Structure 1
Amino acid sequence: MAGTKAAMEDYSVRMGFVDDYICAICDEGGDLICCDGDCGRSFHPTKPTGEASHCDTLGLSEEQLFLCENCESKKHQCFVCGELGSSDQGGGGQVIIQCNKRGCKRFYHPECLPLDINNLPGDSCPMHECYSCKKKHATSKGNKTTGKTKGKETCRKKHATSEGNKTRGKSKGRGTWEMDLVLCRRCPKAFHRKCLPRKIYGGEGEIQRIWETAGGTVFYCRDHEMVENLRSAKRNRIKFREEKPKGAAENQSVEDGNK
C-alpha cells in the first residue's frame, strides 16, 4: 500500500505540472503568469508574450499579480460542457464544483459528470482513471452478466500486478511509465500511456495530437478538431463571461427609452 500511495502522490504532482507550464488559452509555454484564484491557471499576460504562439493573451498592459475574470466573478467553466456556473459556496448560489484532487482544479456541473463518478473518492473527476480501461471494464462486467466474459484483464489489474512486482523486486522498469495517465486538454478523458490510440502520433493522413514538452505531456483526444498550423486543438474553449443573447443590447436600449 505504501508504494501505491507514493505513486498517487507523484501522479498528483505530474497532473498539475503541465497546467503550470502552458497557457490556458493557447496551450503553449513561454512568459506566463498564474491566476491567484481557485483555478490556478497560467496565461500569457500581454500581447508581446503571446506573439510566438499566436496567442490572444489576456491583453494586460503589463505583467502583474491578478485574478482571472472567472475567479474574480466566481463563475467557472464546466470542463464537460464548457458553460459557466457559479462556484460561490456562500449564499447557496453554487451550481458548479471543483475536483478536490491536488493539482487538478477542474470544475464541473454535477449533472455533467458520468454516473460512475460516485465510485471515485470525494469530488474527484473522471480524469483520474483511464477512459479506455473503464470502457473495457464496463464491457467485461456486461459480458459477465450475460455469461460471455472471456476473463479480459483490465489495465487496473495490470497496474496492481506491476506495483506488486515492484515491491517484491521483480519490476522490469516498464510498468510505472506505461501506467502514467495522459490527460486531454479539452475534456475529462485520460489514458494510460499504453492505452493511447496509435493514430494520435500522426502519420498516414492523421494529425499529431500529442507532444512532450518541458512542462510535461500535452495531449488532445480525437473528439477535438486540431488546428493544422498550430500545435493545439481549436482555441475556442476559454470563456470568461456569459454571452448576452443576440438582440439583448437592442432590447435593453428600447426598454431604457420607454422608461
Structure 2
Amino acid sequence: MMMMSDDDDDSDPQFNVVADYFFVDAEKNPICLSALPIRFEQGTDEATQCKQNIFLRGVADSGITVYTHVVAWKLGLEGKQPVIAVLSVEGSWINLAKPRNSYEEEFRTIFITVRMLHFLRRKPEEPEKNMWSHLRKVFDKFDLRPSKDDFRNHRSLLKLFAEKDLNLAKSQVLQAFIEEGSKTQISEVESDNIEMKQSFIASDEEIEDMVSDGNSESDEEEDDLFDFTCAICDNGGDLLGCDGPCMRSFHAKIGTGEDSYCDTLGFTEAEVEAMKTFLCKNCEYKQHQCFICGVLEPSDGPTAKVFLCNNATCGYFYHPKCVARKLHPNNKVEALEKENKIIGGSSFTCPIHWCFHCKGLEDRSQEQLQFAVCRRCPKSYHRKCLNTL
C-alpha cells in the first residue's frame, strides 16, 4: 500500500528520499525503525518476512506526503556518512533523511548504534575511548549522552554486522560489546528543568560540520577524553591520562610538576615510555571517591557503593543518595526514588553536565555557552552565567 497526497493520476509517484519521517504500526502507534528486519543483499527479493505491519510516514523529496507500507531496512556504511534505506512492499528502496523531531526518542538508540558501526567500520583498530570521543563530537551539540546502554538492545544487530562485514569483524571493541553479557539497563538522562533547544538528530550537513570543525585524528580524539589538569595539583603541563573509568590525568614523571610543587607519580621517562596502558591506583583497585562527600568506596561488582555517571566523557563516581539529593534537591520523594533506582542498577547523569544557574546545556560552538566546571563539586556554569553571579 502506497498512499500520497496530490496524487492526480493512476500511476504511483516515484521518489528516492523521504524526510521528516517516522514509523507507525497498524494501530498508528509510533514504532522504531529497528522493528523491521535488516537486509544485507543489494536486491529486493527474498526479504525476511516482517512480523508486523509497519508504515513509513514523511515527506518525499518532491514535496508530496508519504504513507507507505515497508517490510525491511538496510544500512550502508561505506561512505562518509551512514545511509539508511527502507524497502517498500512494492519493492522500491527509499533513502531516509532527517526524522521528525517529535519522534526523536523512538530513534535514539538505533541512531547511536548506527554511528558506532560506521566509525568502527572505518577504523576497526581504534580503541574504545576514541569511539566514545567520536560519538560525543557527533552528538554533543544535540544533548545526547551516548552510553553502552544504547547498544545493548541492538546486540543482535551488532552481531549480524560483525558476521557480514570483514572490516567490522576486525574490531575488538565491537566484539567486546557483542560478548558482553551484562543485563540491559535503560539509560536515564536527568533533564529536570532543562529546556531542550535543539533536536538531537543532526542533518548530514550539520554532522559533517561538527566532525570537520575538530581534528579527527585518533591521537587528538584520544587526548580530548582525558583531563587537561593534573588531579594532584590542578595544574597543566606534561600529563599522563588514566586509561580507567576515572579518565583523570597526572604529572607522571619526576620534575614535570615543579611549577606547582606537585609530588607527581614519581615515574621515570623510561618507565612512562614502556607503559602500554596506565591505571591509577583507584582504577586499579576499583575504589573511587564520591565526588560529593569524598568518601572512598568500592566502585565495581556486587559490593559497589559508588557508581559512575553514564556520560561517556565523565569520570566521576557518586553514592546513590548523594547524587539523588543533588538531582532532586527540592523533592525528597523523588530523591529517594532516584536513589533506589541507582541502587537497583539504573544509570544516571550527574548534574555537572548542565549549568547550575540557568539549567541550560553546554554549546561549545558559542563561547558564552561554554562551561566553566568546578573541580571540587559537581557544578558547572555557562560563561555568561558566571558574569551574573
Q: Structure 2-normalised TM-score? A: 0.35
Runs of 4+ in 1 over 6 A off after TM superposition: 9-14
Q: What is the RMSD computed on CA atoms of the aligned residues?
A: 3.6
Comparing 20-29 with 94-103, greater Cα deviation is found at: 20-29
Contact 2:310–2:348 at 8 Å: present in 1 too? yes
| Equivalence for 1:111 | 321
- Between the two proteins, the alignment pairs up a number of residues equal to 158
| Equivalence for 1:88 | 300
Aligned pair 1:45/2:252, yes or no? yes
SS in 1 for 2:297: strand
Whichever residue aligns with residue 25 of structure 1, its letter is I
Q: 1:175 to 1:108 in 2, by over 3 A?
A: same
Whichever residue aligns with residue 384 of structure 2, its letter is K
- The equivalences for 1:243-254 within 5 A come to none
Whichever residue aligns with residue 322 of structure 2, its letter is C
| Equivalence for 1:75 | 287
- The equivalences for 1:9-88 within 5 A come to 17=224, 19-61=226-268, 62-63=271-272, 64=275, 65-88=277-300
Aligned pair 1:7/2:141, yes or no? yes
Contact 1:11–1:180 at 8 Å: present in 2 too? no
Give, in angstroms, the shift of residue 55 of structure 1.
Answer: 0.8
SS in 2 for 1:95: coil
Q: 1:193 to 1:18 in 2, by over 3 A?
A: farther
Structure 2 gaps of 5+ residues are: 1-100, 105-137, 147-213, 215-220, 329-334, 339-345
Aligned pair 1:102/2:312, yes or no? yes
Give, in angstroms, the shift of residue 66 of structure 1.
Answer: 2.4
SS in 2 for 1:52: helix
Whichever residue aligns with residue 71 of structure 1, its letter is C
Q: 2:371 and 2:238 mapped to 1: Cα distance?
A: 27
Comparing 31-40 with 187-196, greater Cα deviation is found at: 31-40
Q: Which has the higher contact order (CA 8 A, sep 6+)?
A: 1
Q: 1:48 and 1:35 mapped to 2: Cα distance?
A: 19
- The equivalences for 1:107-186 within 5 A come to 107-113=317-323, 114-116=326-328, 118=338, 122-134=347-359, 156=360, 176-186=366-376
Whichever residue aligns with residue 354 of structure 2, its letter is E
Q: 1:74 and 1:11 mapped to 2: Cα distance?
A: 24
Whichever residue aligns with residue 249 of structure 2, its letter is S
Q: 1:68 and 1:126 mapped to 2: Cα distance?
A: 25
Give, in angstroms, the shift of residue 10 of structure 1.
Answer: 9.6
SS in 2 for 1:112: helix
Q: 1:112 to 1:101 in 2, by over 3 A?
A: same
Give, in angstroms, the shift of residue 95 of structure 1.
Answer: 0.6
| Equivalence for 1:196 | 386
